[in-house]
Amino acid sequence: MSEMVIPKPLQQLFIELTQEPRFDLALYLAARDLLRLRIEQVRARKRSFEERYGMSFEDFRQAWESGKIADRYSYEVERDYWEWEAAITDEARLEELQEKLG
């Protein structure tokens, strides 16, 4: 396995952002914070859909499949379905990465 060289200015950026003098720990802290932020963003996106439609994605999906969603094939509703589903998938993937990070 080859080693990666990380430029000194980038190392200094991580050290300053995290206030951790050891680069390896600074990188870990930055990655942890980024994951936390991304999870918060995807959960906010999920909540916005839940508020818009007044239900969870699973309930929405079931209503969609049974034809209970008005204009379900309109561009806006169909786009919301796919973006909502993507948010659910992203949340699971990010939480899995967070567990691996420890």
Long-range contacts for 34-39 (Cβ within 8 Å, ≥24 apart)? 35/94, 35/97, 35/98, 35/101, 36/98, 38/90, 38/94, 39/91, 39/94, 39/95, 39/98
Report the percent of the chain where pLDDT is more than 90: 92
The answer to the question of residue 3 being in a domain is: no
The pLDDT score that the predictor gives to residue 20 is: 97
For the chain of 102 residues, list the mean pLDDT of each consecutive stretch of 10.
Answer: 87 96 95 97 98 97 94 95 98 96 86
Cα separation, 102 vs 98, in Å, equals 6
The answer to the question of residue 16 being in a domain is: yes
- Give me the domain span that covers residue 89: 8-101
Count of domains observed in the chain: 1
Digit-coded pLDDT (tens) for 14-43? 999 999 999 999 999 999 999 999 999 999
The answer to the question of residue 41 being in a domain is: yes
